[in-house]
């Protein structure tokens, strides 16, 4: 399994590298993650992730970037 339930700590931030359609971020949200951060090099994937995530969560950030170039405060 890509993500174990025990790996998600309630009220923590989850970073998904190669987020694609955001399904793992949504899973993390339903397990109690406080903030969701997704990174992908494909804008089309991020557009789909945004459509999926914004239906459920408000505290999320999506970045169109290579992970090597990503800077998050």
* pTM of the predicted model as reported, rounded to 2 decimal places: 0.86
In this predicted model, what pLDDT tens digit does every residue of 8-54 receive, in sequence order? 777 889 999 999 999 999 999 998 999 999 999 999 999 999 999 99
Distance between CA atoms of 58 and 36, rounded to whole angstroms? 9
In this predicted model, what pLDDT tens digit does every residue of 52-72 receive, in sequence order? 999 999 999 999 999 999 988
φ, ψ dihedrals at 69, nearest 5° = -100, 0
Q: Tokens in use for 32?
A: 């109690």
Distance between CA atoms of 63 and 4, rounded to whole angstroms? 24
Radius of gyration for the chain, computed over Cα atoms and rounded to the nearest angstrom: 11
Q: Token pair 């969701």 is at which residue?
A: 36
Q: Token pair 């990503």 is at which residue?
A: 70
């Amino acid at each position: 399994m890509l993500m174990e339930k025990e790996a998600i700590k309630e009220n923590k931030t989850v970073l998904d590298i190669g987020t694609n359609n955001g399904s793992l971020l949504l899973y993390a949200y339903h397990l109690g993650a406080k903030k969701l951060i997704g990174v992908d090099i494909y804008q089309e994937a991020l557009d789909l992730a945004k459509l999926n995530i914004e239906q459920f969560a408000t505290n999320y950030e999506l970045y169109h970037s290579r992970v090597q170039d990503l800077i998050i405060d």
